[in-house]
Structures are given as structure tokens and as C-alpha cells.
Structure 1
Amino acid sequence: MKCQVASTVAEKNAILQQRYAIFVEEFHFFEPHDESDKIEYDRYDEHSLLLGVWEKENLIASCRLVLPNTTFGLPTLNSMIIDTNKLQSDQITAEISRITVAAAHRTFKNTIKIMKIMQKELYRIASDYNIMQWVGAVEPSFLRLLQHSALPYVPIGPLQHMIGADRYPVILTIRDYAVSRKEY
């Protein structure tokens, strides 16, 4: 299993198609843009890196990293109530969103392994963009899974409705991630 930034049109399309299958067809979080293309995307994808977790040649999981930008900002910070005392607004922040895991790989143990591999690649990428913290919005059960995975995301606001479910806005700093890996 390896995680890498999608670098070809085929890899990007595979990720967008997986998002469609999961977010549109399986969970019905979004309406389809166009039935014929079967891809899920939004305006934030223009400012994002798409990451895939591949097992041999099969895409088994993905996420996007919305990079800091002044055009649209970050989805979670734009749409959720945030405790500004918990967010270090002077730090360069990116957002992890659109996390997918293919149904056949959604066991507790396997999802933990996937999240750790994904976060390790996000950490590597962070130095290229001077990212000091990541934000996102996760359901309570997914937050527990992340914490069980030793990925110390913490809520930075109350539980609130976003994209078809109740979610917490969360944050993980580079420092806290490095400490969790004993690298700081």
C-alpha cells in the first residue's frame, strides 16, 4: 500500500470517480453534476492536491488536500463555527477533505492503516508548502477512529451539520503529529 499525489489524468479521474461512487451513489451526500461523467468535484479541487492510496494498481482510498488560497479559502473554515482560540490563524493551514475508503477495505484495522499511510504522505507534502496545520470536518465515529490511530486530531468547534452528517471541525498541527510519531 502506498499513498501518492495523483500526477496523471488517469489517476485524478480514478480519484474523482471513487468520490462519485462513494459520496453520490453510496451515501447520497451530493447530487451528481452530470450523470455521464460520474466524477465528484467542486470549486476547491482547483486549489487542491488529490492523493490516492494504491494497492498494486488498485485505488483503495483517497483524499484531497485543499491548499491555502485566497480565492475560496478552506471549506471547513468557511462553513463551520470555529473556536478561534483553538485555531492558530497565523499559521499556514490546509484542509484535508473528501476522504474515501473503498467499501471492500473499510474494516477498522485496514482503515487505521490507510489513515496512517495517508497522514504520513500529507506530512511529507506539508514541508513543500510550509503547512503548519491541517483542518477538516469529521463525524464523531471517524474522529474516534483517527484518535485510535494515534492521529491526534482535536475538535475546534461544536458538533454541527455539514455535508449530510453531523461533524466536528478538527485540527492537527505539524508539531502534534510529529510528537505522536516521536519525531519532534
Structure 2
Amino acid sequence: MRTRNWMTTGEAAVLLRSSRAHVVDLCLRGLLPYVTIDGQRRIRRCDVEALIRPGMTREQAQILWLHRAVAGRLVQDPGAIMAAAAINLRRLRRLHPDGRAWEWLDRWDAVLEQGVEAVLDALTSSAEYAIELRAASPFAGILTETERRRVLAAFAASRADHARPMRPEKFERVLRSV
């Protein structure tokens, strides 16, 4: 089994048991995040696997959608958004002077220090570490209330578009073939 992080739309289609056109449609509707490299879509394996075997609760999925919108704002104005996150992080440290929250605040501190690319990954990834990290996010207040409501309405409308669940043994067999 290959362990590459990025997949083509064809490879994603094999995992999702769908057509390449369906994968492209999921990408275009914003249900499957992708990047374009040399004119071709590349999709993170963890995002495809999250569609097959959703490991997120509804609340975690909502938080992911909200953070993907924050990622859009980050791309538009990296300096301002990174500064706002740093300010929020300091405020959260004052609100939670001790306890378990510091572990996540320290992790966010490390991500912010790595720069915009690392922050974008934490904001948009379906990986388990990112799900846990977003639960203590320093990006509160980045979206306006109107933007927030639009994102949540789009999330609610998308809930019927998830891939069919697959038995674990079949999932492993499909993964080995890709």
C-alpha cells in the first residue's frame, strides 16, 4: 500500500467507489478540498478517507467547515489573520492559566511559528491531530457573524452528499490496491 499524502482524482475515485467525474464534482462543490499542481487536482489522502470512514462528529465537521472559511481569509490577508490568532492565543493563555488547555495552546503556538502553510494545514485537514487542535482554536472572531451563518448553512445543505460507508475489511482491501 502506498503511503503518499496526495492523490489524483482517479485514485480518489477508486477509494470512494465512484467515478472520477464524481470526485471532481465533490471538489468543485467544496466537499473535498484539493490543490492544483501543474493544472491537475491533488487531494489529501486523509480527506478522501474521512469521506469513506467519517471520523468526525457533526460538531467537528461544522468546526472544520468554519476553519476552512478562516483559511480563505488567511489566504487573503495572512498578516492580519496571523496577528489576530496570536492575540487570541495570548488571551486564551490568560483565561486558562493552568490545566490541559495549555497543551493545545502550546501546539497552536508551534503551528503559528511554522508559518502560513502549517496554519492552513491545521485549519483544513481532516487528520485526527487537526480535529483535536481545532477544538482549542485561536481563530475565534475572524469570521463575521454573516460569514459564519453562511458557512453553517452551506454545511447543513451538504450533509446529504457524503460517501457511502464501507465495511472496514473492504476498505483495507481497496487501500491495498491503490
In the superposition, the TM-score normalised over structure 2's length comes to: 0.28
Of structures 1 and 2, the one scoring higher in RCO (CA 8 A, sep 6+) is 2
In the superposition, the TM-score normalised over structure 1's length comes to: 0.27
